[in-house]
Chains A and B, each alone.
Chain A
Amino acid sequence: LDARRLLIGIGGGALIAIALFVGVGVIADGDTDATPEATTSTAVTALATPPVTTSPPLVSAGEVVFETTALLVTAVSADDGEVRVEYELVSLAPLSGIGQDDEEPQLVALPEQWELTTTDGELVVGNVDADDTMVRFAVPADATRQIVDTVRVVGWRIGVPAGEQVTLPMVSGATVSFAGGTTYLVDTVIEQSTSTIVQVDVDDPDSRWDEVFAAPTDPGWRVTGRQFGGLQFIWEGPGVPSEIALIQESPSWVAVTSELTAWRGGSS
Chain B
Amino acid sequence: MSGADFESLLKSPLEAPRADGGTRWYLLGGGLGFGVVLALLAILASGSSSESAGSRSDMAPAVSATSVATTVPDEPVEFVALLPDGYLPLTDDVGVKPVAAMAEGDGLLVSVAVAVRSGGDPAEVGRPLGATWLLERKDGSRMDASGLVADRVRPGIYSVQFPDSAQPGDALVMTERWDAVDILQEVTVPYTNDAPYRFPVPLTLQLTEDVAMLIEGQLGRFMGELSWLLEGSDGLLGIASVDVVLLDEAGEEIGGYGSDHGNLNPIDASDALQLFWLPDFPVDQTGAVEMLVRVRAQLSSRTVHDLRFELDGLPGSLGGRE
Given A97-B182, A160-B159, decide whether A254 and B315 contact each other with a Cβ distance below 8 A. Answer: yes
Stretch at the interface among B65-73, B167-175, B197-205: B65-73
Contact A159 B154 (CB under 8 A): yes
- CB proximity to A under 8 Å, residues B98-135: 99-100, 102, 104, 109, 111, 113-120, 122-128
Q: Is the CB of A46 within 8 A of B71?
A: no
Number of interface residues of B (CB under 8 A): 98
Which residues A53-87 have CB closer than 8 A to chain B? 53-63, 65, 67-68, 72-75
Majority-rule SS of B interface residues: mixed
Instruction: With A56-B119, A98-B296, A247-B262 as known contacts, state yes or no: A8 contacts B56, CB within 8 Å.
Output: no
Q: Is A1 an interface residue (CB 8 A)?
A: yes
**What size tier do the contact residues of chain A reach?**
35 or more
* A158 close to B27 (CB less than 8 A): no
B152–A103 CB distance below 8 A: yes
- Would B85 and A65 count as touching, CB distance under 8 A? yes
A255 engages B315 (CB within 8 Å) = yes
* Residues of chain A within 8 A of B94, CB atoms compared: 94
Chain A, 84-128, contact with B by CB distance < 8 Å: what is the 0/1 string? 000010011111111110011111110000000000000000000
| Residue-wise interface mask of A (16-28) relative to B, using a CB-CB cutoff of 8 A (1 in contact, 0 not) | 1110010000000
Cβ contact within 8 Å between A222 and B223: yes
A15 — which chain B residues lie within 8 A by C-beta?
35, 39
A17 touches B36 (CB 8 A): yes
A53 and B71 contact, Cβ closer than 8 Å, known pairs A94-B94, A179-B321: yes
Cα A109 to Cα B72 with chains together (Å): 26
With a cutoff of 8 Å between Cβ atoms, the chain B residues found around residue A73 in the complex are 59
A-B contact pairs, 16 of them (CB 8 A): A9-B33, A12-B32, A42-B60, A55-B71, A60-B59, A75-B60, A94-B125, A94-B126, A94-B156, A96-B123, A98-B182, A98-B297, A105-B153, A159-B154, A159-B157, A249-B262
Q: Which residues of B contact A (CB under 8 A)?
A: 21, 23-24, 27-40, 43, 53-54, 56-60, 62-68, 70-73, 77, 81-82, 84-85, 93-94, 97, 99-100, 102, 104, 109, 111, 113-120, 122-128, 149-159, 180, 182-184, 220, 223, 225, 239, 241, 262-264, 272-274, 296-298, 315-316, 321-322
